[in-house]
Amino acid sequence: MRMGYGLHMEQTQKLIMTPELRQAITVLQLSSLELSMYIEQQLQENPLLELKDDSQDNDGTNGDQVEEVNEPETPGEFDIDWQEYFHDSSDLGIPKAEKVADQLEYSYENFVRQVPTLSEHLMLQLSLSRCGPREKLIGEYLIGNIDSHGYLQVTVEDASVSLGVAMEEVERVLSIIQTFDPMGVGARSLEECLLIQADQMGLNNSLVRQVIKDHLVDLAKGKIGKMAQVLGVTVQEVQRVADIIKTLDPKPGRNFGSPNDTRYITPDVVLEKVGSDYIILINDNSVPRITINSAYRAVLNKNADTKTRRFVESKLNAAAWLLRSIEQRRLTLYKVANCLVELQRDFLDRGVKYLKPLNLKKVADIVGLHESTVSRATSNKYIQTPQGVLEMKYFFSSGLSSTAGSSVSAESIKKMLQEIVAAEDVKDPYNDQKIAEILKRRDINISRRTVAKYRDELGIAPIRKRRRY
């Protein structure tokens, strides 16, 4: 084999990931809330971007027009692609928002309610208790070590050493905290949590206490017959005790708020049904409207030095690309949403049982985009439909074939499975094989393992735990 050095010239085509293309991809995959934060960041970094004031756009043009510069430019000296932006008075970014008249009437929906955290709720009760200053200091330490589920995460011994007090004092304060609302808070184990609730509810049943202390594992596994044999009682009595225990809350603190909770979802696309048609609205109300400040156009003349001109031109091109990226995101979202409405019309009209199997490739072929573009356009996006606020990825569901040759989505099968379990006889519930046979009678080819998989995803217990005596 001959080896050596040489120079060769060849012509190839390849995709170059330019900064502008990276920015367009980034903007496309952002949700409306993330896009607002991204625009705020760009407003701080680029002096040529500014928030658009609709009050100045009476005739569709910017009020502070800068005088035309008639001096000819030297061709090829600068890469100027900004001149067309000033002559185009349209907004390449967000469409102009309609002015809404001031509303003088207010309702409770205008106010946001702050849900107290579990720690705040317990501290309030501690401050209202008859504890002394020393006991309140111990109580504050214990409350600070209670997790979001309501369980104490520190031992009495460790608390005693950390505070330099006797263990008896810590135990006494802990017993006071365990009387606070919600019932069962401050427990150190599941058994203690359930026993506290049983005491406060006045359940003076020795069998309930015995099951909580010694048979919680068997109860969780649904071994009612084994428990009845060990306890020497009837199966019906154990079933009644199990029903009582199921009314207790194993996580008493979960109903309280957390500072990091996400409370609201802002849909990126809104579907409004008008008559028999669906109107697609891209929700840009929370996104700031930005424009290019034309005052910097005066800098682009022969009197400015080369360094200043190049800086202004780079920032101007970056601002224009941002506006184009935002507009491209809006158009892409509209195309994808319109395609989803056409393909999933039955689901929008009639419910989840009519959701059809769909993949990214089919949508990409219809709208003329790449699969990765459709994936980015639907990633982290929510759509408001007559069936509720859903992730756009929800429309892309795998499916199974039916005996008629058509396909049925997994979500539709899960809905049928829920209905079958809800209508079963609780004394003789269906096993997974029986459910598979019922679905096959409905022309759905499904195996027992797939039924078990869907049942686990829906949180439906197996037959042993669903049977009642």
Quickly state the pLDDT bin for 263 (edges 50, 70, 90).
low
Q: Is the pLDDT of residue 30 over 70?
A: yes
Nearest of 59, 140, 30 to residue 379 by alpha carbon: 30
| pLDDT the model gives residue 173 | 94
Mean predicted lDDT score pLDDT of the chain: 82
- Here the tokens at position 338 are 């319109």
Taking alpha carbons only, the member of 96, 83, 86, 88 closest to residue 55 is: 96
Average pLDDT rounded to a whole number, residues 245-265:
78
Whether pLDDT at 302 is above 70? no
The CA distance from 198 to 232, in Å, is 22
Confidence of residue 301 (pLDDT cuts 50, 70, 90): low
pLDDT score at 61: 47
Q: Residue 188's closest CA among 175, 200, 207? A: 175
Give the pLDDT of residue 366: 92
Residue-level pLDDT at 127:
92
* pLDDT exceeds cutoff 70 at 89: no
Query: What is the reported pLDDT for 114?
Result: 64
Q: Answer yes or no: is pLDDT of 174 > 90.
A: yes
pLDDT at 198: 92
Residue 250: pLDDT over 90: yes
Question: Which residues are within 8 A (CB) of 166 and not within 5 positions of it... i.e. 6 or more apart?
Answer: 160
- Give the pairing type, strands 269-274 and 382-385: parallel
| Cα torsion through 204, 205, 206, 207, rounded to 10 | -160
Report the length, in residues, of the chain: 469
Residue 258 to residue 148: CA distance in whole angstroms: 8
pLDDT at 103 over 60: no
What is the per-residue pLDDT across 440-464, written as a single tens digit (0 to 9) for each?
Answer: 888 888 889 999 999 998 989 888 8
Confidence (pLDDT) at 412: 87
Closest CA relative to residue 190, chosen from 248, 104, 254, 272: 248
The more confidently predicted of residues 6 and 220 is 220
Does 93 score more than 50 pLDDT? no
Q: How far apart are CA 356 and CA 398, in angstroms?
A: 9
Q: What pLDDT digit, counting tens, does each position of 32-56 carry?
A: 888 889 999 998 988 888 887 655 5
pLDDT score for 16: 67
What pLDDT score was predicted for residue 356?
87
DSSP classification of residue 94: S
On the question of pLDDT at 101 being above 80, the answer is no
Predicted local confidence at residue 357, as pLDDT: 87
Counting residues of the chain whose pLDDT is more than 70, the rounded percentage is 81
Query: What are the φ/ψ torsions at residue 150 (nearest 5 degrees)?
Result: 100, 10
Query: What pLDDT is attached to residue 406?
Result: 66
- Residues 316, 245: Cα–Cα separation, whole Å: 68
Q: Determine the pLDDT at residue 56.
A: 52
Q: Characterize 249-264 residue by residue with b for buried, 16 or more Cβ atoms within 10 angstroms of its Cβ, and e for exposed.
A: bbebbeebbeeeeeee
Domains of the chain: 17-57+80-92+261-397 (no CATH), 118-246 (1.10.10.1330), 399-466 (1.10.10.60)
Contacts of 77-80 spanning 24+ positions with Cβ under 8 A: 78/309, 78/310, 78/313, 79/313, 79/317, 80/300, 80/313
Going by pLDDT thresholds of 50, 70 and 90, the confidence category of residue 73 is very low
User: For residue 167, what pLDDT is reported?
Assistant: 92
170 pLDDT exceeds 50? yes
pLDDT at 143 over 90: yes
Q: Above 70 in pLDDT, residue 346?
A: yes
pTM of the model as a whole: 0.65
The answer for residues whose C-beta is within 8 angstroms of residue 49's C-beta and 6 or more apart is: 42, 43, 290, 291, 292, 293, 319, 322
- Number of Cβ atoms within 10 Å of the Cβ of 99: 8
More confident residue, 156 or 299: 156
pLDDT for residue 321 is more than 50:
yes
